Amino acid sequence: MAVRARPWTVDNGLMDEAPAAAVRGEEARLAELLRPRLPSPLDELVDDRMAARGLRLLLKRDDLVHPDIPGNKWRKLAPNLAWAHAAGHDTVLTFGGAYSHHVRAVAVAGAALGLRTVGVIRGEEHRPLNPVLARAAEHGMHLTYLDRTSYRRRTSPDLADRLRAAFGPFHLLPEGGSNALGVRGAAGLPAEITQPFDVLCCSCGTGGTLAGLAAGLRPGQRAVGFPVLRGGDFLADDIRALQRAAFGAATTTWTLECGFHCGGYARTTPDLTRFIADFADRHGLTLEPVYEAKMLLGVFTLVAAGDFRPGSTIVAVVNALADGPQSSARIAAAGVATP
Ligand SMILES: Cc1ncc(COP(=O)(O)O)c(C=O)c1O
């Protein structure tokens, strides 16, 4: 995921093309067809390291929302696909790597709404298809492949023209679904949390999820994002741009903790590996290593450093687990390498 190239677009104009009521109707239809588990469960993690600091940690188990469209995928994609259908598009085209759960999620949700879907995959075609792409193809997605150099230009108008010549008109959904509609979808999560809390933590790839979560907070609450890419400070501008596109203004309710990338995207360190094993021993949950383990390593490190006020309740949003239905391919894809 070369997010440094800022491959997503912030398409503020989208909302004007389809009446809000029609979009809401399509979202309700999608939910009726696919039955997401919403609100997702909120589980307290009983851990002596939290108790020792007078803190509570709750896990927002968004990984349980839907087996093919978990967590932030559902929250960002449902409004986008509902919008596309309500606006009269019959085809949605999106981009992703060979193990992209975003691509699979678009295929499954698009099929439910009767949309034709095209997945533009980075790199060469490999047969047989891996389980993620096989699932996308099973749901009728047309897969096409772009060499890595062309893929880097995936936001260029020239490429869009070439793809339109090949596949006809389509609605283009940015990688990860991080656009104004996706951010609005993510903003619904905090309202699901019925217990009082002070800090909401999440991992960041594009920053679209954090942009939405932070905008959905109540007064006095704050959000902390943990970028999984090296040098994640660059995300701050993108998050503000996404919030402006979605809501007209950026909020100051969030911060980034950029010290927990563990060497960069899909890289690991002995500390992270130990943390994942220890967490599994203590809690029986094997954390997904590319995003969520880094975020929780960050949370526990900040707790040990006394960064959270005693008496605070922290909620950590978990979009995936390593032993969830989507995981083994992600771990294989990540190759989880030591820097
Ligand atoms: C499991 C998981 N958590 C977090 C994220 C980050 O979401 P965002 O790109 O909105 O920052 C992703 C993105 O792909 C993800 O797959």
Residue 95 confidence (pLDDT): 95
Whole-prediction pTM: 0.90
CA distances from 24 to 80, 111, 114 (A): 11, 18, 17
Tell me, yes or no, whether 76 and 52 share the same domain.
no
CA of 45 to the centre of ligand 1 (A): 22
CB proximity list for 339: less than 8 A, separation 6 or greater: 262, 263, 264, 267, 269
Contact 118, 91 (CB under 8 A): yes
47 occurs within a structural domain: yes
pLDDT in tens, the chain (339 residues): 333 323 333 344 455 578 889 999 999 999 999 999 999 999 999 999 999 999 999 999 999 999 999 999 999 999 999 999 999 999 999 999 998 999 999 999 999 999 999 999 999 999 999 999 999 999 999 999 999 999 999 989 999 999 999 999 999 999 889 999 999 999 999 999 999 999 999 999 999 999 999 999 999 999 999 999 999 999 999 999 999 999 999 999 999 999 999 999 999 999 999 999 999 999 999 999 999 999 999 999 999 999 999 999 999 999 999 965 444 444 445 444 443
Residue 18 confidence (pLDDT): 80
Residue 2: count of CB within 10 angstroms of its CB: 15
Tell me, yes or no, whether 27 and 92 share the same domain.
no
146 occurs within a structural domain: yes
Residue 210 confidence (pLDDT): 98
Tell me, yes or no, whether 229 and 98 share the same domain.
no
5 occurs within a structural domain: no
Cα(3)–Cα(61) distance, integer angstroms: 26
Tell me, yes or no, whether 156 and 20 share the same domain.
no
Q: Identify the three-state secondary structure at position 198.
A: coil
Tell me, yes or no, whether 191 and 307 share the same domain.
yes
Residue 20 confidence (pLDDT): 87
Owning domain of residue 40: 14-68+182-334
CATH number for the domain including 31?
A: 3.40.50.1100
Residue 318 forms beta bridges with which residues?
61
Mutual angle of helices 71-86 and 20-34, in 10-degree steps: 130
Tell me, yes or no, whether 251 and 154 share the same domain.
no
Tell me, yes or no, whether 258 and 315 share the same domain.
yes
Residue 14 confidence (pLDDT): 54
Cα-to-chain-centroid distance, residue 226: 13
Last residue within a domain, chosen from 113, 147, 177:
177
Cα(25)–Cα(28) distance, integer angstroms: 5
Helix (H) or strand (E) holding 58: strand 56-61
Residue 155 confidence (pLDDT): 86
CA of 15 to the centre of ligand 1 (A): 23
Last residue within a domain, chosen from 177, 207, 238:
177
Residue 40 among the catalytic residues = no
99 occurs within a structural domain: yes
Tell me, yes or no, whether 41 and 136 share the same domain.
no
Pick from 200, 238, 319 the residue to mutate for probing ligand 1's pocket: most ligand atoms within 8 Å of its CB: 319
Tell me, yes or no, whether 237 and 168 share the same domain.
no
Ligand 1 atom with minimal separation from the 330 CA: 16
CA of 227 to the centre of ligand 1 (A): 10
Total number of domains constituting the chain: 2
327 occurs within a structural domain: yes
Last residue within a domain, chosen from 177, 205, 236:
177
CA 304-191-250 angle, to 5 degrees, is 80
Pick from 206, 239, 257, 290 the residue to mutate for probing ligand 1's pocket: most ligand atoms within 8 Å of its CB: 206
Q: Is 268 in the pocket of ligand 1 (CB under 6 A)?
A: no
CA distances from 110 to 27, 60, 115, 338 (A): 12, 26, 5, 37
- Residue tagged active-site, from 100, 178, 203, 327: 100
